[in-house]
Amino acid sequence: MILDHIGVVISDYERSKVFYSRCLAPLGITLVMEVEGWAGYGREGKPEFWFGPAGEANQPMHIAFAAENRAQVDRFYQAALEAGGKDNGTPGIREIYHPNYYGAFVYDPDGHNIEAVCHRPE
């Protein structure tokens, strides 16, 4: 990862916590800590993705999470929809980026475009 961490402002903390806990679990990303009303998600105890309430929610952003394989992308997509996300692109190859770009896209409760992507061949 080229960034140490990123934080986004959301409109409903509990709703976002339920959504991200469910859709990021298939990627091995979990809630690592909560600090001063912000939730930090990551792997191996290092929070890299943060969200919390701080006024109005950010304008919609695109945030892509790395998946180890295509099955994780598929599970992310299904979990995100079940958690209230809205479809923005079913799992599949996006050859416009490269031949092995396998991604899925959903909108979170605040309209952020959340993606899971695997760059490995099947």
Q: Residue 42's pLDDT band (boundaries 50, 70, 90)?
A: very high
Instruction: Tell me the domain boundaries of the chain.
Output: 6-118
Strand partners, 21: none
Reported pTM? 0.92
SS3 109: coil
Q: What are 33's two structure tokens?
A: 């800590």
Strand partners, 76: none
* CATH for the 6-118 domain, from 3.30.530.20, 3.10.180.10, 3.40.190.10, 3.40.140.10: 3.10.180.10
- The whole-angstrom separation of Cα 11 and Cα 52 is 8
Q: Residue 1's pLDDT band (boundaries 50, 70, 90)?
A: low
